[in-house]
Amino acid sequence: MWHSIPKGYHYKSSASPLVFTGIRLRYHFKDMPVEELNLTGKLDTGATFTVIPLELANKMQLPSAGSTGVLRSFDTSIRLKTYPKYRTELFIPKWGWQILDVVGCERSNNDILLGLDVCNQMLLLANWRSGGFGIRPAKPMHRILRLFFHRFRKVSES
Amino acid sequence: MKDMGARKLGEILLKKDNRDANLPKRDSQSDNFYKDFIRNVIVFKESLPRLLNEIPGEYVAILSGEIIDHRSTWESVFTATREAHPNAFVLIERVEPRPTEFIDMDSLST
């Protein structure tokens, strides 16, 4: 699935350009789904976990999945905060449902931060020139891409 | 004595959290939620050595600083506690050794 990169996002230093819309979040209680629709997610390839707004977690009364260990931020400073974790099912359009433990945290934008736990088996391809990006299962593309980049390197070196 | 230690540790953790100016401001509702959550985490951490001897591998439910239930599966603990306390957040933790782990995050709040 090919998504477009929203115009203007490139110039906002704090915003990730890879934005998904139509994300759904749910859990089941006695076979009854409790679901939230039309959420927005930003892909963050530097994050270990997916993070959801605490307000949303409280509103949905998401079930607990424990608490986080020590979190380390991008500048390697250690933060001793402890955050709640929730057991959820996350839906990304044309990608499907996946069961996931997510971290709950106050977020200034009321969106979901999609971490490597949702895309660690996937291939991410972004074209900032044309303003689009896509995600596919990585395994079938692995050999083709290795060949592509190997040849590309040879051409650049010559 | 044990309660005093837990309370002090809770105060230190909350002070550290309040120092972080980058985080969005919490409203009183989420502040109360977070205080209660931290209290439950501290109770779990303090009880962990005892729980590891008594019920290793099981899941425990903690509400308002008290362990209210323990069962062998997460689903059974969740169903039982949600039925008993439908409007409360019950912390569910697995009784297993917890080595210090470092998890990389850019920023959770933006």
Q: Does B24 touch chain A (CB under 8 A)?
A: yes
pLDDT at residue A86, rounded to an integer: 97
Domain extent, residue A58, equals 2-157
Instruction: Say what percent of chain B tops pLDDT 70.
Output: 65
pLDDT higher at A53 or A148: A53
pLDDT of B79? 95
* Cβ distance of A73 and B106 shorter than 8 Å: yes
Asked whether the predicted pLDDT for residue A124 surpasses 80, the reply is yes
Q: Which residues of A touch B13 (CB under 8 A)?
A: 80, 82
Residue A92 contacts by C-beta under 8 Å, 6 or more apart in sequence?
A: A20, A23, A41, A114, A118
Q: What is the CATH number of the domain that holds A110?
A: 2.40.70.10
The per-residue DSSP string of chain B comes to -HHHHHHHHHHHHHHHHHH-TTSPPPPHHHHHHHHHHHHHHHHHHHHHHHHHHHSTT-EEEEETTEEEEEESSHHHHHHHHHHH-TTS--EEEE-S-----EEEES-S--
The residues, ordered by sequence, that sit 6+ positions from A60 with a Cβ below 8 Å of its Cβ are: A25, A27, A34, A36
Give the pLDDT confidence score for residue B78 in this predicted structure.
96
Neighbours of A40 (CB within 10 A): 13
Chain B positions in Cβ-Cβ contact with residue A68 (cut-off 8 Å): 103
The answer on pLDDT for B89 being more than 70 is yes
**In the predicted model, what is the mean pLDDT of residues B53-70?**
96
> What was the ipTM of the complex prediction?
0.77
Percent of chain B surpassing pLDDT 90: 55
Question: Which sign does the torsion angle of CA B48, B50, B53, B55 carry?
Answer: negative
| pLDDT tens figures, B4-20 | 665 666 665 555 555 44
Q: How confident is the model at residue A50 (pLDDT cuts 50, 70, 90)?
A: very high
Closest chain B CA to residue A78: B102
- Chain A contact for B6 (CB, 8 A cutoff): no
Q: How far is CA B98 from the centre of its chain?
A: 14
CA nearest neighbour of B107 among A86, A77, A142, A150: A77
Q: Are A19 and A44 in contact (CB under 8 A)?
A: no
Tokens of B59: 């899941």
Q: What is the pLDDT of residue B6?
A: 59
Specify the range with the lowest mean pLDDT, choosing from A4-13, A20-29, B42-51, B85-94: A4-13
The reply to whether B91 touches chain A by the CB within 8 Å rule is: yes
**Confidence at residue B81, expressed as pLDDT on a 0 to 100 scale:** 96
Residue B22 pLDDT level (bands cut at 50, 70, 90): very low
Q: What is the pLDDT of residues A58-115, one digit of tens each?
A: 999 999 999 987 666 656 666 657 899 999 999 988 778 999 999 998 887 778 999 9
Given an 8 Å threshold on Cβ–Cβ distance, is A49 in contact with B103?
yes
> Which of A29, A65, A72 is opposite residue B92, by nearest beta carbon?
A65
Residue B78 and residue A61: Cβ atoms within 8 Å? no
Q: Which of B17, B89, B90 sits opposite A81 (nearest CB)?
A: B17
Residue B37 has its nearest CB partner, among A46, A55, A84, at A84
Mean of the per-residue pLDDT values of chain A? 82
Q: Would you call B84 an interface residue with chain A, using a CB distance cutoff of 8 Å?
A: no
Residue B38 to chain A, least CA–CA distance (Å): 8
Q: What stretch of H or E contains A98? A: strand A96-105
Which pLDDT tens digit goes with each residue over B99-110? 666 666 666 665
For residues A60 and A25, the answer to whether their CB atoms sit within 8 Å is yes
Domain count, chain A: 1
pLDDT at B73 over 80: yes
| C-beta atoms of B103 and A72 within 8 A | yes
- Residue range A30-50: average pLDDT? 87
